[in-house]
């Protein structure tokens, strides 16, 4: 598994486009890479959120995690130490900062997140666009309770956390408002992921962007990503290895990019 991912990453490094956008012919993608991907995130935002991560890494509590998705690929037991979940589950700072920049540019009027975990990614999203609400869904009640603790201690207010299954909660959240940005990071199975994406595509506007975490996590996730790239309304996709980004922009010829990040 480790060697397979390493091999895939080496292929990605060989085939990916320049991290500064050089050689990218699409004005939209060039602007995205040069302006959004490379934008500096406020250091105060990073410090606040990483302080939460540090506290979680030292949290000795053991909790029962009721996984509604595929579960952890690393921690097999449902009884898990908070510190272990904090070590493997949340997005690293580098990708958290990207979420902040993407939320700032594309988040309005509303951000959706499928898979809160302890709320590290949620806080990066919310900090990027304080004028819109991040509606986030977490399947495990014990995990969502710790996320609520983290939100309260961080002082970040524009977060609405719902505990439940994605397929039950998502249609309700999509009913009244078109999301600007959607981040999917909570179910690494092909069929459910395609189902969530289909629901989002039906409601998506031309400015909506969907970010999917761990697209190279497994063969199943890679198959799902390839299928998502072929959705009729998807105009541009970007593979940055850890994440896949899909746009519904109108008036742009369909193209799939692999960009070094």
CB 33 within 8 A of CB 25: no
Give the pLDDT of residue 7. Answer: 80
Residue 133: pLDDT band with limits 50, 70, 90: very high
0.85 surpassed by pTM = yes
Tell me the pLDDT of the chain averaged across its residues.
92
Q: Please give the structure tokens belonging to residue 255.
A: 């193209």
Residue 1 has pLDDT above 80, yes or no: no
Dihedral angle of Cα 126, 127, 129, 135, to the nearest 10 degrees: 0
Residue 73 has pLDDT above 60, yes or no: no
Model confidence pLDDT, tens digit, residues 140-181? 999 999 999 999 999 999 999 999 999 999 999 999 899 999
What integer pLDDT is reported at residue 4 of this predicted model? 78
Answer whether residue 242 shows pLDDT above 60. Answer: yes
Using only C-alpha atoms, the chain has a radius of gyration, in whole angstroms, of 17
Cα–Cα separations (whole angstroms), residue 99 to 38, 103, 188, 208 = 12, 6, 19, 14
- Judge whether residue 69 has pLDDT over 70: no
Neighbouring-strand partners of residue 211: 183, 245
pLDDT of residue 19 exceeding 70? no
User: Which residues contact residue 106 at a Cβ distance below 8 angstroms, ignoring those fewer than 6 apart?
Assistant: 180, 181, 207, 208, 209
- What superfamily in CATH does domain 2-258 come from? Vaccinia Virus protein VP39 (3.40.50.150)
State how far the alpha carbon of 71 is from the alpha carbons of 91, 159, 189, 203, 211, in Å.
Answer: 16, 24, 10, 28, 20
What's the confidence (pLDDT) of residue 177? 92
- pLDDT above 70 for 74: no
Cα–Cα distance for residue pair 226/20, rounded to 1 Å = 25
Q: Say what the pLDDT of residue 75 is.
A: 54
pLDDT at 22 over 70: no
pLDDT 10s digits, 32-50: 999 999 999 999 999 999 9
79 bridge partner residues: 64
């Amino acid at each position: 598994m480790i060697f397979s991912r390493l091999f895939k990453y080496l292929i990605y490094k060989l085939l990916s486009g320049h991290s500064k956008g050089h050689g990218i012919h699409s004005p939209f993608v060039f602007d995205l890479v040069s302006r959004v991907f490379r934008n500096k995130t406020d250091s105060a935002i990073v410090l606040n959120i990483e302080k939460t991560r540090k506290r979680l890494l030292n949290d000795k509590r053991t909790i029962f995690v009721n996984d509604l998705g595929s579960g952890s690929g690393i921690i097999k037991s449902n009884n898990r130490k908070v510190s272990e979940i904090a070590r493997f589950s949340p997005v690293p700072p580098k990708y958290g900062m990207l979420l902040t920049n993407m939320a700032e540019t594309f988040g309005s009027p509303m951000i959706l997140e499928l898979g809160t975990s302890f709320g590290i990614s949620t806080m990066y999203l919310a900090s990027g666009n304080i004028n819109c609400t991040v509606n986030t869904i977490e399947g495990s009640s014990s995990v969502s309770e710790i996320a609520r603790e983290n939100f309260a201690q961080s002082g970040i207010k524009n977060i609405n956390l719902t505990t439940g299954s994605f397929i039950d909660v998502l249609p309700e959240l999509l009913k009244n408002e078109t999301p600007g940005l959607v981040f999917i990071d909570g179910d690494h199975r092909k069929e459910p992921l395609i189902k969530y994406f289909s629901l989002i595509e039906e409601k998506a506007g031309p400015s909506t962007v969907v970010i999917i975490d761990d697209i190279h996590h497994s063969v199943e996730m890679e198959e799902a990503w390839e299928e998502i790239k072929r959705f009729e309304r998807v105009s541009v996709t970007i593979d940055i290895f850890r994440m896949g980004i899909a746009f519904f922009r109108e008036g742009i010829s369909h193209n799939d990019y692999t960009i070094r990040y």
